Amino acid sequence: MLTAIVRAFRTPDLRKKLLFTLFIIVIFRIGSQLPTPNVNTEAIREAVESAREGDQSQIYGLVDLFSGGALLQLSVFALGIMPYITASIILQLLTVVIPRLEALKKEGQAGTNKITQYTRYLTIGLAILQATGIVAMAATGNLFQGAAVGDVLYKTDLFSIITMVVVMTAGTSVIMWLGELITDRGIGNGMSILIFTQVVAVFPAQFWAIYTSKGAFAFALVLVVGLAIMAGVVFVEQAQRRIPVQYAKRMVGRRMYGGTSTYIPLKVNQAGIIPVIFASSLLYLPVLATQLWPENKWMIKLQPYLQQDNPWHMAVFFGFIIFFTYFYVAITFNPTEVADNMKKYGGFIPGIRPGRPTAEYLDYVLTRITTPGALYLGLVSLIPMVAFALLKATNDFPFGGTSILIVVGVGLDTVKQIESQLQQRNYEGFLR
């Protein structure tokens, strides 16, 4: 990986793309530290520290992860990339349900551009809703544990609240624009790079918290365990089942086409990180309800089961990940459609008849290969919870869960893109 990056910096046009990407990342991080108007940063800092000491920081979980800690600072980019991720997932799910969106998906680049436009509109709508909810909770003192009404915000009148919502929504729009700039003029997928940046941004603080609270030996042990986990994640992320496909020869005009062999790569982790996001979002809803109605007797009874070291919480989280892995793979990979496309172009799997038998075979293989992928996602996502329950580790355990999946996945994809562009500019053939 380091060799590819060094070679990229030696290539002038790739060096410009890498420097441009780094420049956008710097702007992105500055916006994540810039406070929203009407925010008392000192009161927020004290509230966050008291929340972490009382093990309450976990309630913000996924939202704060994708904002790189900006949510707990109420900065301009406090919403982070989460509204865009949610909008993209919703549009992807609706593509299966709404025929119009499915037709747009099949239209090629023009249809993709239209769906992207719908995603932007939905992102703005979700950003307005999330910003309104976060600012309202901050104004009523429910966002931070131990912060009284009026401590976090200087003013709680309607104009000040609307100003904060507008600023946060505009911050989400700027994040979308920065991501598209990286995609067009930089290296890698822009939104993925920004997600990677937000996740990695909190690592130094987490490492320092482990070192100061647990000592040097625990810090070294966490690094060793983290590297082992990362190696295992890389191994599984790269694992795939290759189904051979043979294309028959056919005459088109006066030319002979086909006769080639290829394969269909089915990844062990076909669903990526989406099931973890779904499961975390569902478990976040009852936590949010307990914050909004803390005096309700049902909410009081529910609170102990929402702690991340509770076995019932872990079991439900693990079950949700297994379910959503199968659900997401089922809606994103259609064996019947793949079999029909193969049959249309004269392709077949050796030993399997084209058409319906091919679709049934693909469904059989996909179902079996999704099982270890779902178990892998569930186990990796439980690592921080198990570490907290058994070892009483810090809540900011950096290796495991959503963060390590994002870091490894985006890192591998970005390095692959750099290597492919290097091959286009300096192809050396088989001998090197």
Beta bridge partners of 247: 347
Judge if 111 and 223 occupy the same domain.
no
Do 333 and 352 reside in the same domain of the chain? yes
- Does 144 share its domain with 222? no
My answer on whether 112 and 195 are in the same domain is yes
* Residues 183 and 214 placed together within one structural domain of the fold: no
Helices 109-140 and 158-185, packing angle to 10 deg: 150
Q: Is residue 407 part of a domain?
A: no
Total domain count, the chain: 2
Claim to verify: residue 189 and residue 212 sit in the same structural domain: no
Distance CA(78)–CA(169), nearest Å, equals 9
Q: Is the pTM of this model over 0.85?
A: no
Domain around 220: 204-399
Neighbour-count burial of 289, counting CB atoms closer than 10 A to its CB (0-12 exposed, 13-18 middle, 19+ buried): middle
pLDDT per residue as tens, the chain (432 positions): 667 677 777 788 888 888 999 999 999 888 888 888 888 777 777 766 665 554 444 445 555 565 555 666 778 888 888 888 888 888 888 887 888 888 888 787 788 888 889 999 999 999 998 888 888 877 776 666 655 556 778 888 888 889 989 999 999 999 999 998 998 888 888 888 888 888 888 788 778 877 887 778 878 887 888 888 888 888 888 888 888 888 877 666 667 666 678 888 888 888 888 888 788 777 777 776 776 676 777 777 777 777 766 788 888 888 989 998 998 888 888 888 888 888 887 788 888 888 888 999 999 999 899 999 999 988 888 877 776 666 555 455 566 677 788 888 888 888 888 888 777 766 554 444
Do 248 and 123 fall within a single domain? no
Residues 128, 220 share a domain: no
The reply to whether 9 and 74 lie within a common domain is: yes
* Residue 300 sits in the same domain as residue 374: yes
> Is residue 107 located within the same domain as residue 174?
yes
Strand order in the sheet with 347-348: 261-267, 240-247, 347-348
**Residues shown for the chain:** 432
Here the CATH number for the domain that contains residue 289 is 1.10.3370.10
- Identity of the residue numbered 79: L
Q: Is residue 405 part of a domain?
A: no
Same domain, 167 and 223: no
